[in-house]
Chains A and B, each alone.
Chain A
Amino acid sequence: MRRELRAFSASTRLWLRYMAVDRFMLFCAFVQPFFIAVTVMYMLHHQPQFDPVYVVVGSALTGIWSVVLFDGSWAINSERFQGTLELLVGAPSSLYAVIAGKLAGGMAFSVTSMALSYAVGAWLFGYSIVVRDVPAFAVAFVLALIAIGALGVLIAPLGILARSVRQFLTVLEHPIYILGGFLFPVLLLPGWLLPISYALPPYWAAVALHGTSSGELSGVAFAEVCAVLLLSSLACFVLAAPLFRLVLRRARVEGTLSLT
């Protein structure tokens, strides 16, 4: 266990440094949320009940999700392309810990997209942005990050399962913006899509963050949302373990750990 923790934290540190120079990740964490925040601010500010913090939270969620989605679905493959996957598999620590560490790095990195969206609202548009229930928001923020990160850990082994799976994952960026209700209520969606929304951790992350920032979510309802986030995180972490074993076994059988 201690060994796995060390692998986890070493990967987090390495990956944070890596992402800081990766243009694509910078794009996901900064540029895209910036543009989304600006565009959506312009689109929504006519609303009578417009609250800029809604756009800040929603755009930040888009940034966090994009980082997790791409980081997650490419986590193993990027190692394969670099030729380091064999070294990771050949090392005594588990690949699970390494990849989870990588995603933790991604999460830490994507937190900055929250700060950036805030800056867009505050400086560019001159809004005063107020989080109504700060302690609850802080709790929701941490739980939301863990829940979305856990989903990334589950996505990671899927990313090398098959090329078609990876292609499917790549186009999941905007659908989760939509189904997660990041920047509009999911009630706008056709009814048959709602069960899908409710089954997605990002949706609950959005409920928790929007709800606590506007102050509309508190008490038992808030506790319930927190419980859902925790349970979904746990479910992802648990489900990921056999998946990792499966894909690694398969890669060793098929000889696909390296490119040649």
Chain B
Amino acid sequence: MTTASLRLFFVGSVFAYRALFNWLSPGGYIFQKMAFPLVQLAFFALVGAFGGARPLSFYLLGNAMIVTFQAMFSIANAVADERWQGTLPYVVGSPANRVVLFFGRGAVHVFDGIIDVVAALGLAVLVFGLDLSHATWPGIALAALVGSLGACAFGLFIGAVAYLVLDANFLANLALFAIVLLTGANVPLEELPSWAGTLSTLLPLTRTVAASRGFAAGGELAAGLPLLAGDVVVAAVWGLAGFALFQTLETQARRRGTLEGF
């Protein structure tokens, strides 16, 4: 990354927060950002408690890792907001590297994502009585980080697709539910039909969920690292795909003059 890109990255981030707080009050933002993933966690944990075949901790950890995917919304929305405000043609018309710009706007939310995971685990321990007394904490921290990075990479891809099919929020919501269903957070992978199992290996959270369960039960850091490494690779592939898609779509949009139509 060049200095110019770095600068752009930070300007984008600052801009994102400024725009956000003009719109929402900081308190309101934190409330919204925290509340949504936490209540979603509570909902699935309670369904699991009601009739799930696995112990409650299975659902609690799975859904705590899903919380990291809030960052996906932020990046995908960075693009959507541009279109909503009609500023996209101007951004594209500027010489700035837009991938860096959008990524910068969203990546600050990795930070939010990690705070959310902490809150989610707090909720799991305090309200649902999750036992983390033997947990391998460095492993859990690493899992949260990998989850958040995966969310950013995936968000970048969705943002790029949203360039094409218009609706980042819709896609991100869709992706979130795919993640709820297919990463093994709520439904054990072996119960899924085989084609769905294939899909789940392609999602950048599946291995992180498995690793976090190991760490929570006191498993060795080394035992979980290969799983996390696997998700880093998957995330990188999604991120690169998003990057490539950005470039091609933009060239095409310029050629066809469809930028305005966004």
Contact = CB atoms under 8 A, between A and B. Distances in A.
Contacts of A167: 24, 28, 31-32
B25 interface: yes
Interface string A170-193: 110111011000011100110000
Contacts of B187: 39, 42-43
Interface of A (DSSP majority class)? helix
B24 to A, nearest CB: 7
Contacts of B180: 35, 39
Interface of B (DSSP majority class)? helix
B15 interface: no
A43 B51 contact: yes
Interface stretch (B39-47, B102-110, B216-224): B39-47
A163 interface: yes
Interface stretch (A24-32, A93-101, A130-138): A24-32
Given A164-B25, A184-B46, A39 B181 contact: yes
B174 A27 contact: yes
Interface residues of B, number: 34
Given A32-B173, A44-B47, A184-B51, A38 B181 contact: yes
Interface string B163-205: 0000101100110011011000011000110000000000000
Closest 10 CB pairs of A and B: A184-B50, A35-B177, A174-B39, A46-B53, A44-B51, A47-B51, A171-B35, A42-B187, A23-B170, A167-B28
Given A27-B170, A189-B46, 4 more contacts: A32-B173, A39-B44, A44-B47, A171-B36
Interface of B: 23-25, 28, 31-32, 35-36, 39-40, 42-44, 46-53, 167, 169-170, 173-174, 177-178, 180-181, 186-187, 191-192
Interface of A: 23-24, 27, 31-32, 35-36, 38-40, 42-44, 46-47, 50, 163-164, 167-168, 170-171, 173-175, 177-178, 183-185, 188-189
